[in-house]
Amino acid sequence: MNKIPRDGRFDQSINVLREGYRFLPARFERLHTDIFQTTLLAEKVICVTGEEGARLFYDKEKFQRKGALPKRIEKSLFGENAIQGMDGNPHQHRKLLFMSLMTTEHLERLSQMTTEQWRKKAGEWAPDEEIVLFEEAKEVLCRAACKWAGIPLEENEVTERAEQLWSMVDAFGAVGPRHWKGRKARAESEKWMEKKILDVREQRLQASEDTALYQMAFHKDTEGNYLDSQIAAVELLNVIRPTVAVAAYVAFGALALHEDQEQEAKVRGADSVYIEMFTQEIRRLFPFVPFLGARVRRGFIWNGFHFKKGRLVLLDIHGTDHDSRLWEHPHEFKPERFRDWKGGLFDLIPQGGGEHYTGHRCPGEWITIEAIKSSMRFLTNELEYDVPSQDLSYSVTRMPSLPKSGVVLTNIRIKP
Ligand code: HEM
């Protein structure tokens, strides 16, 4: 039996907060390994990276999600009793519900609504107004997501709801006030969503059958019962919260356009193939999810290493997306790398790997791609703007990360 290389003698939790996205990759590099063992939150943890690590992590025979999520993540980011912590048949049944919302028609509608909302928003900017793109993107995506999902949204609540939805995401890598803000946002958002679910069930609110609101309200579990209204609310939030979070990718996309004028010219007027490559490179390069966790279902041996039943295993998401064995010059922005990409299940994994239907891979990958594409098209084809001097750097220790200024745009003109 091989001995799993060990990192540090003491609990490393504080270093996760200190080092952020670099925590795992730095240790794989230092130990010259694709697997090591450490201690986090007083628990032994095995960490794996790369394509083979991802393939292992998504083997459902070997891993389960039950008991893998820290309570603090459930109480802020995901919500309790959500799909993220489910396994087996109940998971697959719930996953079908999400996947049924991802048809070509649904995605086209979301893409159109995103563009419409950008146009509406841009029409409201005064000629000399300075805007923070990330802030605008959150509102645009909140409006588009709610409209798409069939959730009524009053004009005067947009800013607050968009902020709440982002706050839940912003809490995931934080301790202290940022984390507590996320928990409060979750409590308020769940209340908001639960009311909508009950309103639809009790016919005080009309929702068309093909909307997420209707589908969550009337979904039946494997025993034929409607979801508890709190759980239905959590799952409806599981659709609109991450759609608002795509605002971070929009800000990173604008940064990529600004930093490379050649790219900007290529994206402007490009066919959908190039915009898709550009979008994939945004998702690969810029930091969002650092790692994911699962527990060993029953003990097994992998490459001579023993994985004990119940052991927590972390998959290095950020590191795999920057693995030089998979990506040439991994820290450079090169959309062209996707021209010959075979679409592997375990290489580009910013939203998880493996299969969408049978595993935990993000069902919102296409929504994410469509929302980024629509936003990049809008920025390049419909607007002209200046990017004044500002701090566009982004941290690799703060999770989630963002361009620090949020990307300020001035002198905005709508192209005729
Ligand atoms: C900023 C964009 C997004 C990022 C970075 C992201 C990332 C992720 C990741 C890393 C996972 C976990 C995969 C795993 O556990 O193995 C996930 C799962 C999930 N995502 Fe996303 N996601 C995004 C957008 C979306 C959107 C737009 C939706 C809307 C439908 C969505 C809904 C979900 C759901 C429901 C799950 C749980 C799937 C399951 O456990 O089977 N996500 N996402």
> Mutation test of ligand 1: which of 77, 362, 401 has the most ligand atoms closer than 8 Å to its C-beta?
362
31 CA distance to ligand 1 middle (Å): 30
Q: What is the DSSP annotation of 141-207? A: HHHHHHHHHT----GGGHHHHHHHHHHHHHTTT--THHHHHHHHHHHHHHHHHHHHHHHHHTTSS--
Cα 298 to its chain centre, rounded Å, is 29
Residue 1 belongs to a domain: no
| pLDDT for the residue numbered 390 | 98
Residue 3 belongs to a domain: no
Residue 4 belongs to a domain: no
Residue 7 belongs to a domain: no
CATH of the domain at 194: 1.10.630.10
| pLDDT for the residue numbered 9 | 84
Q: What is the DSSP annotation of 313-346? A: EEEEHHHHTT-TTTSSSTTS--GGGGTT----TT
Question: Do the Cβ atoms of 153 and 147 come closer than 8 Å?
Answer: yes
| pLDDT for the residue numbered 8 | 83
412 CA distance to ligand 1 middle (Å): 33
Residue 127 belongs to a domain: yes
CA 265 to CA 19: how far, in whole Å? 36
Residue 62 belongs to a domain: yes
| pLDDT for the residue numbered 234 | 98
| pLDDT for the residue numbered 269 | 82
| pLDDT for the residue numbered 359 | 97
Structurally, the chain folds into a number of domains equal to 1
Residue 365 belongs to a domain: yes
Pocket lining for ligand 1, CB < 6 angstroms: 83-84, 95, 98, 238-239, 242-243, 245-246, 249, 288-289, 292, 350-352, 360-364, 367-368
Residue 239 belongs to a domain: yes
The whole domain housing 36 covers 13-414
409 CA distance to ligand 1 middle (Å): 29
Residue nearest to atom 20 of ligand 1 (CA): 362
CA 344 to CA 341: how far, in whole Å? 8
Q: What are the pLDDT tens digits along the chain (416 aa)?
A: 999 999 988 999 999 999 999 999 999 999 999 999 999 999 999 999 999 999 999 999 999 999 999 999 999 999 999 999 999 999 999 999 999 999 999 999 999 999 999 999 999 999 899 999 999 999 999 999 999 999 999 999 999 999 999 999 999 999 999 999 999 999 999 999 999 999 999 999 999 999 999 999 999 999 999 999 999 999 999 999 999 999 999 999 999 999 998 999 999 988 889 999 999 999 999 999 999 999 999 999 999 999 999 999 999 999 999 999 999 999 999 999 999 999 999 999 999 999 999 999 999 999 999 999 999 999 999 999 999 999 999 999 999 999 999 999 999 999 98
Backbone angles phi, psi at 403, to 5 degrees: -60, 130
Question: Do the Cβ atoms of 401 and 287 come closer than 8 Å?
Answer: yes
| pLDDT for the residue numbered 416 | 86
Residue nearest to atom 41 of ligand 1 (CA): 360
